């Protein structure tokens, strides 16, 4: 059983990192593009079997790349999820536990810093003020465009068309210079969705319409790469930062719970020479950094994630425990939630513990904690042993008035 197999292998899940070594020998990309999609569920995209929305651009990347069928975020919160993606570290390691947390400490290297130090031109274009330049992820970027100005704070949100306009201008400014690293974050699927008329006419569901709108912006970005003869020579990663609860378990939107509606995210990777297909191994956003470094031929880093390239190449890569959390309930006077996945089983450390078999109960409706107490105890032990003493206690952050106003405007911090 997967649970028993990992007890010895895991050691310390979060407090102790692993070193991943790389031996990838495929063509080296001249550029890396990471596109992150806020509040985007995997099960609302055609590469994951959904037929209710047209996403030709995402489908194109999926057709020439690899779809990770079982990828999880680390938290249903924008800043925490992106911080893990760009550091390869779980939240207890990097310390950014929710959207109101202190900025990422400079002791933690980001993917942009690593690539910039190796001569990459770097640019970031984000649509949400949660990812404003002062939140810690701007380090390592030559250009970090959050929509603000020297004397003005960034807007709470800005449309994907504006984000991609600026990203496309940056691509054109490269004038053939490589290597480069580009991050584009799209926030249009985040509620409340504001759709252009043509998308409102086609889609009665605003959530699905917003996904189609973002796909149209991704198409514009791919067109610019193609026009500059970069598309086929660039590694492209499309990742959901977190999903969205559409009423499951009584939750509207995201942030509180750690069920799969908000934790299961799309993850698609395409790169020169990379095999096409699907990977079923459980994956986490912390795996993006080591995977990208593997693709560009850079050495090992001490992180919590591991490269997905061996799995992409068809090697037998065993599942390992995957961690996730939500500290947002602290703002509402409730207990934080932590989860651990090991293969088919998922354990949630809540005031009333929960255990689910995701192979037979993807909606997480049947709590098995009392029926399978031995499995619950093993997973609880892995979770407990993996959290060092100095990371188990987390307090709700004290917000300055301006930061509180921004988060309230985006639907955080206030009662939901």
| 3-state SS, residue 172 | helix
Decide if domain 324-409 falls under CATH 3.30.1600.10: no
Check pLDDT > 70 for residue 369.
yes
pLDDT digits (tens, 9 = 90+) for 147-159: 876 656 666 789 9
DSSP 50: -
Buried b (16+ CB within 10 A) or exposed e, 351-368: eebbbbbbeeeeebeebb
| Confidence label for 387 from pLDDT (cuts 50, 70 and 90) | low
Q: How many angstroms separate the CA atoms of 259 and 354, rounded?
A: 10
Say which residue the tokens 């995402």 belong to: 58
| 3-state SS, residue 291 | helix
* 18-318: CATH, from 1.10.10.10, 3.40.50.2020, 3.40.720.10, 3.10.450.50: 3.40.720.10
| Confidence label for 253 from pLDDT (cuts 50, 70 and 90) | low
Average pLDDT of the segment spanning 217-228:
97
For the chain, domain boundaries:
18-318, 324-409
Identify whether the C-beta of residue 284 lies closer than 8 Å to the C-beta of residue 238. Answer: no
Of 68-77, 227-236, 248-257, 315-324, minimum mean pLDDT range: 248-257
Q: How many angstroms separate the CA atoms of 110 and 3, rounded?
A: 32
pLDDT digits (tens, 9 = 90+) for 135-188: 899 999 999 998 876 656 666 789 999 999 999 999 999 988 889 999 999 999
Beta bridge partners of 183: 34, 124
Cβ count within 10 A of residue 19 = 11
In this prediction, residue 400 carries a pLDDT of 46
The three-state DSSP-derived secondary structure of 181-203 is EEEEEECCCCCCCCCCHHHHHHC
Identify whether the C-beta of residue 217 lies closer than 8 Å to the C-beta of residue 238. Answer: no
Identify whether the C-beta of residue 255 lies closer than 8 Å to the C-beta of residue 412. Answer: yes
In this prediction, residue 245 carries a pLDDT of 74
DSSP 138: -
| Confidence label for 364 from pLDDT (cuts 50, 70 and 90) | confident
Q: In this predicted model, which residue has the larger pLDDT, 391 or 77?
A: 77
What does pLDDT average to over the chain? 85
| Confidence label for 249 from pLDDT (cuts 50, 70 and 90) | low
Length of the chain: 416
**pTM of the entire structure?**
0.87
Q: How many angstroms separate the CA atoms of 49 and 220, rounded?
A: 24
Beta bridge partners of 297: none
324-409: same fold as 18-318? no
In this prediction, residue 395 carries a pLDDT of 44
pLDDT digits (tens, 9 = 90+) for 95-126: 998 877 788 999 999 999 999 999 999 999 99
């Amino acid at each position: 059983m997967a649970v028993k197999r990992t007890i010895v292998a895991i050691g310390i899940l979060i407090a102790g990192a692993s070193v991943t070594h790389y031996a990838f020998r495929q063509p080296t990309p001249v550029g890396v593009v990471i596109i992150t999609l806020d509040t985007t569920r995997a099960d609302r995209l055609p590469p994951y079997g959904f037929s209710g929305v047209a996403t030709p651009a995402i489908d194109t990347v999926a057709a020439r790349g690899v779809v990770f069928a079982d990828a999880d975020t680390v938290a249903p919160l924008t800043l925490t999820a992106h911080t893990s993606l760009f550091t390869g570290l779980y939240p207890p390691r990097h310390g950014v536990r929710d959207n109101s947390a202190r900025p990422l400490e400079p002791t933690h290297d980001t993917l942009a810093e690593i690539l910039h130090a190796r001569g990459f031109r770097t640019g970031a274009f984000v649509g949400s003020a949660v990812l404003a330049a002062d939140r810690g992820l701007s380090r390592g970027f030559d250009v970090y465009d959050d929509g603000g100005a020297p004397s003005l704070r960034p807007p709470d949100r800005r449309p994907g068309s504006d984000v991609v306009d600026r990203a496309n201008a940056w691509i054109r400014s490269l004038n053939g210079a490589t290597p480069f690293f580009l991050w584009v974050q799209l926030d249009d699927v985040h509620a409340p969705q504001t759709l252009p008329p043509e998308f409102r006419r086609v889609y009665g569901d605003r959530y699905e319409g917003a996904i189609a709108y973002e796909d149209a912006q991704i198409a514009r970005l791919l067109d610019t790469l193609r026009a500059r003869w970069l598309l086929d020579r660039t590694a492209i990663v499309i990742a959901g930062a977190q999903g969205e609860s559409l009423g499951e378990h009584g939750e509207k939107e995201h942030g509180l719970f750690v069920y799969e509606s908000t934790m299961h995210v799309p993850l698609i990777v395409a790169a020169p020479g990379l095999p096409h297909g699907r990977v079923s191994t459980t994956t986490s956003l912390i795996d993006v950094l080591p995977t990208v470094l593997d693709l560009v031929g850079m050495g090992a880093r001490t992180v919590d994630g591991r490269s997905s390239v061996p799995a992409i190449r068809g090697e037998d890569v065993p599942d390992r425990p995957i961690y996730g959390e939500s500290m947002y309930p602290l703002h509402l006077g409730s207990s934080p939630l932590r989860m651990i996945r090991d293969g088919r089983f998922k354990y949630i450390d809540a005031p009333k513990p929960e255990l689910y078999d995701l192979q037979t109960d993807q909606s997480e409706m049947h709590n098995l904690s009392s029926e399978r107490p031995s499995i619950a105890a093993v997973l609880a032990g892995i979770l407990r042993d993996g959290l060092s003493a100095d990371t188990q206690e987390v307090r709700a952050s004290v917000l300055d008035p301006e930061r509180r106003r921004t988060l309230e405007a985006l639907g955080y911090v206030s009662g939901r």
